[in-house]
Amino acid sequence: MRRFAALSFSILALAFLLYGQKNSCIECHQGLEKELQEPVKAVQADVHVQFGLSCQDCHGGNASQADIELAKDKTFRGVPKRDKIPEFCGSCHADSQYIRKYNPRLRVDQLSLYWTSQHGRSLKKGDPKVAVCTDCHGYHGIRPASHPKSMAFPWNIPQTCGRCHADPEYMKPYKIPTNQLAEYKQSVHARALFEKKDLSAPVCNDCHGNHGANPPEVAAVAFVCRQCHPVNGELFSKSPHKKAFDAMGFTECEACHGNHKILEPTDALLGVGKDAICVQCHDAGSKGYQVASQMSQKLAGFLAGFQEAQALLSRAEQQGVEVTDPKFRLQDANTLLIHIRSLSHDLSLGEFEEKISDGEKVVSEVQKAGIAALKEAKFRRTSLVIVTLILFLLAVALFAKIREMRRRSD
């Protein structure tokens, strides 16, 4: 009985102690001026706090001590110097044993990658202005990269990188352009990301890397694009351009589509018109010029037929004729159109013409269906006029009969 009472008392006492344990860092900082009070609020949303870590796990010290001198004991590390931040974060994040306790799926190579990056190399050389962990992830309020409010979440990354890279004053010593963010915002990728909320759309780190961020090399750019556009990449590799580009040291995709400001490609890019890219290298009369011209003309012809078929079906539908089947068939032509546009990377005129011919057969079939549907609409209207006329005459005759009957009965 005595043993039981002693055990109960011990448990209660321990529970009371644990419950009553205070965090002196928070208690003190709550009472300080705004800048020093800020961490207390921000840290509430921090992923580290959510995993049960506290101030002393990063900054050291003894948070259970109410006295400031005792709290800042010999383990106290305070605010790390800027050039020490990678090692500061890496002391946990590069330690697989430690990280496994909290999130076994989290990578632990960020620090080693960082030292291979342009940022890391410059930091080692003594440049304190380059990005360190806190510049991209924040501090006291760090969220996992999968959190929409995280600075490293896809739709926040352009702004995160742009904070330094779009600041001409900040970037002055490095003599690199600062228009990347502005250009990216005009790109088809930014539209997909910001307007369609497509998180798979590439942002800065998808091409440059994140912890190991570097400017992509000439050869690397094409492989970066191929991650999402493998078909076009393969077609390009088969094309005569591949050899010529390699010989001249041109980047592959970037040479025609640009880098940060990659606009939605239009059919005008192909051919010899004023917006065409081909004429930048191919002079009038050259073989390349002729192929570009032929491809462009054939594509334009196919497109015109496709649009005419679309318009016919749309008119027939407006006139009340059921055109579900030809509309469905037109989707086959649309699939071919996408394929044909891709083939412009291959530059094989034969295959290009073959697919155009396949597409034209489908378009012609749909056009016939559209014309038949419009004829049907006309037939319906004409029939209605004739039937209405007959019914109207019948109504007039019945009305006359009714009047006659009324006269007779009167």
Partner 1 sequence: MLKNIWDYLDSRLKLSAALEFGRKKKVPEHRYSFWSYFGGICLFLVVIQVLTGVLLLLYYTPSIDAAHESIVFIMSQIRFGWLIRSVHSWTANILIGAIFVHMFSSYFLKAYRPPRELTWVSGFFLLVIFLAFGFSGYLLPWNELSFFATKVGTDIAGVVPLVGKALKAFILGGSQVSGATLTRFFWLHVAILPLFTLGVLGVHLLLVQILGMSKPIGIPDRSVREVSFFPDFLIKDSLGWTLILVLIGVLCVFLPWEVGLKADAFAATPLGIRPEWYFTFMFTTLKLIPSHILTFEGEVLAILAFLVGGIFWLAVPFLDRRAAKEQRGRFFTVAGLVIVLYIAVMTALTYL
Segment contacting partner 1 by CB under 8 A, of 102-110, 222-230, 314-322, 357-365:
314-322
**In contact, 73 and 62? CB cutoff 8 Å:** yes
**In contact, 55 and 63? CB cutoff 8 Å:** yes
Q: Is 398 in the site for partner 1 (CB under 8 A)?
A: yes
Segment contacting partner 1 by CB under 8 A, of 20-28, 224-232, 245-253, 402-410:
402-410
Taking CB under 8 A as the criterion, the residue among 109, 320, 361, 371 binding partner 1 is 320
Residue closer to partner 1, measured from CB, 38 or 376: 376
Taking CB under 8 A as the criterion, the residue among 322, 331, 338, 354 binding partner 1 is 322
Tell me, what DSSP letter sits at residue 192?
A: I
The CA-based dihedral angle spanning residues 240, 244, 246, 251, taken in that order and rounded to the nearest 10 degrees: -90
Residue closer to partner 1, measured from CB, 246 or 322: 322
Residue type for 364, please? S
Q: Is 371 in the site for partner 1 (CB under 8 A)?
A: no
* Shortest distance (Å) from residue 26 CB to partner 1: 44
Q: Where are the alpha helices (DSSP H) in 117-156?
A: 118-124, 133-137
Segment contacting partner 1 by CB under 8 A, of 193-201, 210-218, 271-279, 316-324:
316-324
CA atoms within 13 A on the CB side of 313: 23
Q: Is 244 in the site for partner 1 (CB under 8 A)?
A: no
**In contact, 189 and 202? CB cutoff 8 Å:** yes
Q: Is 144 in the site for partner 1 (CB under 8 A)?
A: no
**In contact, 128 and 224? CB cutoff 8 Å:** no
SS3 label, residue 57: helix
* Shortest distance (Å) from residue 391 CB to partner 1: 5
Measured in whole angstroms, how far is the alpha carbon of residue 384 from the centre of its chain? Answer: 54
* Shortest distance (Å) from residue 337 CB to partner 1: 24
- Interaction site with partner 1 (CB under 8 A): 320-325, 380-381, 383-384, 387-388, 391-392, 394-395, 398-399, 401-402, 405, 409
